[in-house]
Amino acid sequence: MNYLDLSKEISYALRHAPHDYGLCLDKYGYANVDVLISTLREQERFKTLTLNNIEKMIQTSSKKRHEIHDGKIRALYGHSFMGKMVREIAEPPDILYHGTSHKFTKSIFAIGLVSMDRQYVHLSKDVNTAITVGKRKDDNPVILKIDTRQAWSDGIMFYLGNENIWLADDIPAKYISLL
């Protein structure tokens, strides 16, 4: 079983096209894992898929994009479909980072970080993750430093995505600086 292919397929199903896979997500983004397995088994490459395969994919993934709980599975972040998933508010570390393209910098310093076509703004706990994310948009990304301690004190809500990714609704420009 190719776990990278499996992770990409499950991410697509849960993040962008749940209805195409016969999935109904609850308000927390969870779907029935048995329904997902059944749907994926219709594809030749996933014909022998088991819950154990999905659990192993999650355990061996360096990016921790999914979780299983009580017979349900969800993607932890990156959703693009309509409707916002409910997240549990959590106090963030004092500083978080965001990697982006040079072409967006002027706009970010004018209006802040906004979720655009995603449900949340994605922030990284460490600079290396921010660089990796930023390189998706720019070979030499701009790394922004977010004063989350002050933002949190001022009432900005943050949500834990996984151990490296934090989420927020929007981040006003006054909390953002260049690294």
Q: What is the pLDDT of residue 105?
A: 94
Domain ranges of the chain: 3-75, 95-178
Structure-token match 């199903």, residue found: 13
For residue range 100-126, list pLDDT tens digits in order.
Answer: 999 999 999 999 999 876 778 989 999
Biggest alpha carbon–alpha carbon distance for the chain:
52
Instruction: Mean pLDDT check: name the lowest of 115-119, 130-134, 148-152, 169-173.
Output: 115-119
Q: What is the pLDDT of residue 137?
A: 86
Q: Are residues 61 and 133 in contact, defined by beta-carbon separation less than 8 angstroms? A: no
- For the chain, how many helices (H) and strands (E)? 6, 11
For the segment 12-22, the average pLDDT, to the nearest whole number, is 88
The architecture that CATH gives domain 3-75 is Orthogonal Bundle (1.10)
Q: How far apart are the first and last CA of the chain?
A: 41
Q: Is 139 helix (H, G, I), strand (E, B) or coil?
A: coil
The rounded distance, in Å, linking the Cα atoms of 37 and 33 is 6
More confident residue, 87 or 121: 121
Q: Are residues 137 and 88 in contact, defined by beta-carbon separation less than 8 angstroms? A: no
Q: What is the pTM of this model?
A: 0.62
In order of 54, 149, 175, 178, the CA distances from 89 in angstroms are: 27, 14, 19, 26
Helix (H) or strand (E) segment spanning residue 160: strand 158-160
CATH placement of domain 95-178 = 3.20.170.30
The rounded distance, in Å, linking the Cα atoms of 46 and 37 is 9
48: amino acid identity, one letter: T
Checking if the pLDDT of 2 tops 90, the result is yes
For the segment 140-160, the average pLDDT, to the nearest whole number, is 96
Residue 100 region, left (φ>0) first, then alpha (ψ -120 to 50), else beta?
Answer: beta
